[in-house]
Amino acid sequence: MTTSDETAPIPHALGDVVITMRQVNKWYGSFHVLRDIDLSVRRGERIVICGPSGSGKSTLIRCLNQLEAHQSGDITVDGVALVPGLAGIESVRREIGMVFQRFNLFPHLTALENCTLAPMKVRGLSRAEAEAAARTYLERVHIPEQAGKYPVQLSGGQQQRVAIARSLCMNPKIMLFDEPTSALDPEMVNEVLDVMIELALSGMTMLVVTHEMGFARRVADRVVFMDQGEIVEQAPPAAFFGEPRNERTQRFLGQILPAGRSGATAG
Amino acid sequence: MRVLGESDVLFILAAVRWTLLLSVIAFLGGAIGGLFVALARTGEITPLRYVAMGYIKIFQGTPLLMQLFLAFFVPGIFGFNVDPWGAAALGLSLHASAFLGEIWRGSIETVPRGQWEAATSLGFRYWAKMALVIVPQAVRIAVAPTIGFLVQLIKGTSLASIIGFVELTRAGQIINNATFRPFTIFGLVALVYFVICWPLSAYSRRIERKLAVAGR
């Protein structure tokens, strides 16, 4: 079990609004992947986004650092309005960490070098500063001893933790997670989720696309359910799992949660 | 007709330096041009992408000999006089640009999309992303086919003999015209090409094998 059912969500204070999406739409050709998305996220808030595959949840978070451009509507991140082709988008991106399903570590660099590359070349830190920070974060994700290894020498869970450390080394204000545990062998899921829970405890603003409902119950301030490009329902975890209002949400939860235990931790 | 002598053999062997020099120049020119072609071809500027694609198609779809003829004769039409040296260097460089560009485009595209996305999300700009993340991975893939093409290029310099550039092959022809010992002379010429090219091929094969093992 990743997180126990009995544990109540971690209480914490929220700050001002840091992300706003208003009437955001996006198409892939004729496929309408995001429909009139309205979402606002406050500093320190932890949002879990779930929904069937193809519902647009990954696309939504990829719009926040403009890995994907949206076609209409407004997105504001940390006071900057994101428009397609925005000059200086890099300065927005470096404040937003992103963790991918397939880790995407740089295979030609060691774990430590993966963590120091961007701080040195993007932020302009000295090697000594960058390495000190990298070691601190590798410690925080519990693999300081793997610093000198190349990604290919690490397990999936270890790679994903290095990827988290790599993002944290940029000192981001927001962390995006795009199905961070779906490519992992089952026995490695927990080590990654544990790191994410610790990160949540530290007050990081997090948007997490995941089907780990135990994680959602324990950590999320709000669970957002998407289907066919729309936000169908959003609610605090207790309400979301306890009394989902929308029929599509109920059907989705019925499929992913163990039978007869709607509201329990997903297996 | 005279007898094939020691000086004739030396003349042929000495011409190897022109073959090598022409190869080096064409390869360097091709590397610079190829880099532009590969970047244009993989970049996000649509018109540049099409120009690069057209360039590759034209040079891959026409014989090297025609390219050398054009490099030799076309500048003259515009009032520039090129000697065989300049024409051969220009023609082979343009030729190599297209082929190296295509090889390197392929290598760049072999680097998974996730690598671009990770680098982008960390705030890298295009050139930093290319230099620090994409190229170091693409180079490993590119080394073997690049050396393979270099071998083609070295052999391709023999065509420069037709526009009057005296390199290894042309030197062989000149001596043969005087002594008429084609088997010996062209056998020697072929042997010299082999001695240059074979180690390169072997090296490229070794790298390829090493990569195959590392990729497992």
ipTM of the complex: 0.90
Residues of A in contact with B141 (CB under 8 A): none
Kindly report the CATH number that applies to the domain delimited by B6-214. 1.10.3720.10
Q: For residues A210 and A193, is the Cβ–Cβ distance under 8 A?
A: no
Reduced to 3 states (helix: H, G, I; strand: E, B; else coil), residue A129 is helix
Instruction: Give the closest-approach CA distance of B120 to chain A in angstroms.
Output: 8
Partnered with residue A27 across adjacent β-strands are: A32
Instruction: Identify the CA nearest to B147 among candidates B209, B208, B210.
Output: B208
Residue B79 CB neighbour total at 10 angstroms: 6
Instruction: Give the closest-approach CA distance of B134 to chain A in angstroms.
Output: 9
Q: Does B115 touch chain A (CB under 8 A)?
A: yes
For testing the chain B interface, which of A82, A92, A117, A121 should be mutated: the one with the most B CBs within 10 Å? A121
Task: Report the relative pairing of strands A96-99 and A174-178 from DSSP bridges.
Answer: parallel
Is residue B2 pLDDT above 90, yes or no? no
How confident is the prediction for chain A on average, in pLDDT? 91
- Residue of A90, A102, A121 lying closest to B114 (CB–CB): A102
Residue A128 CB neighbour total at 10 angstroms: 9
Alpha-carbon radius of gyration of chain B: 21
Is residue A209 pLDDT above 90, yes or no? yes
Q: For residues A9 and A239, is the Cβ–Cβ distance under 8 A?
A: no
- Model confidence band, residue B216 (pLDDT cutoffs 50, 70, 90): very low
Q: Write phi, then psi, for B210 (nearest 5 degrees).
A: -65, -40
The tokens of A60 are what?
């939504």
B64-77 and B84-110 helices, crossing angle to 10° = 130
pLDDT in tens, A115-171: 999 999 999 999 999 999 999 999 999 999 999 999 999 999 999 999 999 999 999
Residue type present at position A181: T
Contact A106 B115 (CB under 8 A): yes
Q: For residues A235 and A25, is the Cβ–Cβ distance under 8 A?
A: no
For B212, counting Cβ atoms within 10 Å of its Cβ (0-12 exposed, 13-18 middle, 19+ buried), the class is exposed
- Residue of B117, B124, B128 lying closest to A104 (CB–CB): B117
- Model confidence band, residue A264 (pLDDT cutoffs 50, 70, 90): very low
Q: Distance of CA A81 to CAs A14, A37, A63, A213, B148, Å?
A: 22, 16, 12, 32, 50
Q: Does A171 touch chain B (CB under 8 A)?
A: no
Q: Does B125 touch chain A (CB under 8 A)?
A: yes
pLDDT number for residue A262:
46
The tokens of A88 are what?
């200086």
pLDDT number for residue A10:
58
Average pLDDT of the residues in B182-208:
94
Domain ranges in chain B are 6-214
Instruction: Determine what percent of chain A is predicted with pLDDT higher than 70.
Output: 93
Angstrom distance (rounded) from CA B131 to CA B115: 13
Please name the residues between 106 and 125 in chain A that touch chain B, using a CB distance below 8 Å: 106-108, 117-118, 121-122
Contact B112 A122 (CB under 8 A): no
